[in-house]
Amino acid sequence: MNIEHTVEFEKDLKKLSKKYRTLSDDLKNLKKAICSSPEGNGTKHWNLITSLGENSVYKVRLASRSVGGDKLRVIYKYNKGQVVLLFIELYFKGDKVNEDAARIKKYCNNRKNST
């Protein structure tokens, strides 16, 4: 499975990694779980935000050892046809209540913006 990150996701990751030291390892574990089940596992930790043809956008809770619990959220787009994951956003639930709808829309409508 091909995994890509948006520029904004990389910035989110860099900013939060300074505060939460285990974030990169926690994200690696999440990527393994997503690769094995990209459309979720039927628990409350995975939520389908939108589905547009072969593209589906999911919000998943990220369990982090340094934060304690599942207070981090990851937004990603899964393309079933091309088997591609595009990580769009990473945020701390205490800083931001909801995902950035404009950013999600940007990457759902225009595939060229990913890195």
pLDDT tens digit sequence for 84-110: 999 999 999 888 888 999 999 998 876
Confidence of residue 8 (pLDDT cuts 50, 70, 90): very high
Specify the fold of 2-113. YaeB-like fold (3.30.2310)
Domain chopping of the chain, boundaries:
2-113
**Global pTM value:** 0.88
pLDDT(19) > 80:
yes
pLDDT for 57-70, tens place per residue? 999 999 888 887 77
Distances (CA, A) of 15 to 18, 22, 33, 90: 6, 13, 23, 10
pLDDT: is 53 or 87 the higher one?
A: 87
Q: How buried is 106 (Cβ within 10 angstroms: 0-12 exposed, 13-18 middle, 19+ buried)?
A: middle
